[in-house]
Structure 1
Amino acid sequence: MHVTINGIDTRYVVSNEGGGPWLTLAHHLSGDLSVWDQIAGYFRDDYTVLRYDLPGHGESAAPTEPLSIEALSGHLAELLSKLGVTSTHLVGLSAGGMIAQQFAVDHADKVNTLTVAGAPIFTTSEMKPDFDKRAANVRQNGTSSIVEATVQSVLTERFRKAHPEVVEHVGEMVARTSVEGFAKVAEAIRDFDLRGRVASINAPTLVVAGEHDVDLPSAQSKVVADSIPGAKFEILDAAHLSPVEETQRFAALLETFLRENV
């Protein structure tokens, strides 16, 4: 399904075999909604699961204007409004986790619970130049040029060797990402900063980190949990894409968390 949001043709998928409360899943930079396929399969019998492609990712049209995490939060708000969703359980991975936090600050009344995987509350000054370099590199060489490095970064070596089919899928997601979709979301990540605001989040919150995450050390995820009142913190035996590497464990954590807060 597609809907136009702020001039951007946006792909989304709703899975609701048994109906139930809304559960919205937001993906990472250079990913798409298919990263959530297995997780959606776990929850579609009890929840109405919504997945969508960020601008310029998957089958969503590329943005023509600069993006910010605030703008991407507004993009999600408009999608939910068009679908008639008044409130949702919200899960975000990496960039999606930044969007999810921003959304919980901007639209507190629409968030039943918040789950943040592999995302900080701000991008450090040391990391800002890296996102500029990544955007510039992709604009010069295309997203196909970063497939190998990305796959090695977001999945552990052990998992890559055991699951070549997942490696192929993750690489395909990266290659499908449009140049401006990647670059503009990377620049939005560069400028992300919720310090001083994240403590206002009052939704029950679960923060998940990957023990072997080289893109976002687990200590930075712990800062998120420590900054949101009452947040729970869990570490999985995974790199950056913990819902992919530890799908069953991630689903079990999320299922227990949601059951405690529905």
Structure 2
Amino acid sequence: MQLTINRIDTRYVLDNEGGGPWIVFIHQLAGDLSVWDQMAGYFRNDFTVLRYDLRGHGETTASPDSFTIDDLADDLAELLDRLGAPSAHVVGLSIGGMVAQKLAIRHPDKVATLTVAGAPAFIPDDARPVFAQRAASVRENGTASIVEATLERWLTPGFRKAHPEVVEPIAETIARTPAEGFARAAEAVSGFDAREGLSSVAKRTLVIAGSGDVGTTPAASRVIADTIPDAQFETLDAAHLTPVEESQRFSALLGNFLRDSA
């Protein structure tokens, strides 16, 4: 299904068999909504589950202009409005976790609870050139050129070896991501900083980190939990893609958190 959101043709999938409260899952950079397929299966009987593709990812068209994480949060707020969602339990992974934080800051009425996985509270100054370099490299060489290095950051060696059937579709998704879509999103990530607004977030918050995540270390994610009042912090034995590598534990953590929030 598609809607035009802020001039962007946006793909989304809505599972509402349960007819319960809304939950929205936001994917990672160079990913698409399919990364949440298993989570949607866990939660669709009790929730109205929304997944969608960010600008320039999956089947959502690329932005004609540069954009910020604030703009991506506004996209989600508009999508929820258009679909008639009064609010949602918001779950974001990586760049999706950045979008989730900004949604909670900019559109608090849209957020029932906040769950952030594998995302920092800000990008340090010394890390910002890394994303600019990735954007430039992908514009020149395409997203297929970053598949192997990305998988090495996203998943532990043991998981990659044991589960090729999981790794292969993720690799294909990275390679299919339009170069300009990736590049503009990477540039948006480079400027991300939510620290100023996080202390004002009054929603129940769960922060999940991967103990083996070298891109977003547990310490970087912990800043979110330390800044939002009464936030819960958990670490899973995984690298960056905790909902993939530790899907059962991730779903159990999230399920318990949502039940406690009811």
TM over 0.5: yes
CA apart distance, 1:16: 1.4
Find the aligned partners of 2:96 and 2:138 in 1 and give their Cα distance: 20
Alignment of 1:126-165 (within 5 A): 126-165=126-165
CA apart distance, 1:52: 0.1
Where structure 2 has 5 or more consecutive residues not aligned to the other structure, the ranges are: none
Find the aligned partners of 1:201 and 1:143 in 2 and give their Cα distance: 35
AA of the residue aligned to 1:30: A
| Structure-1 residue corresponding to 2:79 | 79
AA of the residue aligned to 1:178: P
Where structure 1 has 5 or more consecutive residues not aligned to the other structure, the ranges are: none
CA apart distance, 1:126: 1.1
Identity of aligned residues (%): 60
Deviations 1:141-161 (A, max 9, x none): 001111111111100000000
| Structure-2 residue corresponding to 1:45 | 45
CA apart distance, 1:62: 1.2
| Structure-1 residue corresponding to 2:13 | 13
Alignment of 1:174-189 (within 5 A): 174-189=174-189
Q: What is the DSSP-based 3-state SS (H/G/I as helix, E as strand, rest coil) of the residue aligned with 1:259? A: helix
TM-score computed with the length of structure 1 as normaliser: 0.99
Q: What is the DSSP-based 3-state SS (H/G/I as helix, E as strand, rest coil) of the residue aligned with 1:50? A: strand
| Structure-1 residue corresponding to 2:240 | 240
Q: CA RMSD in A?
A: 0.6
AA of the residue aligned to 2:38: Q
AA of the residue aligned to 2:257: F
AA of the residue aligned to 1:95: I
| Structure-1 residue corresponding to 2:194 | 194
Q: What is the DSSP-based 3-state SS (H/G/I as helix, E as strand, rest coil) of the residue aligned with 1:79? A: helix
AA of the residue aligned to 1:44: R
* 4+ long deviations beyond 6 Å: none
Find the aligned partners of 1:221 and 1:121 in 2 and give their Cα distance: 7
| Structure-2 residue corresponding to 1:30 | 30
CA apart distance, 1:173: 1.1
Find the aligned partners of 2:67 and 2:144 in 1 and give their Cα distance: 22
Q: What is the DSSP-based 3-state SS (H/G/I as helix, E as strand, rest coil) of the residue aligned with 2:51? A: strand
Q: What is the DSSP-based 3-state SS (H/G/I as helix, E as strand, rest coil) of the residue aligned with 1:248? A: helix
Aligned residues: 262
TM-score computed with the length of structure 2 as normaliser: 0.99
| Structure-2 residue corresponding to 1:257 | 257
Find the aligned partners of 1:146 and 1:196 in 2 and give their Cα distance: 33
CA apart distance, 1:134: 0.3
Determine whether 1:204 maps to 2:204: yes
Find the aligned partners of 1:146 and 1:180 in 2 and give their Cα distance: 14
| Structure-2 residue corresponding to 1:64 | 64
AA of the residue aligned to 1:182: F
Determine whether 1:222 maps to 2:222: yes
CA apart distance, 1:140: 0.3
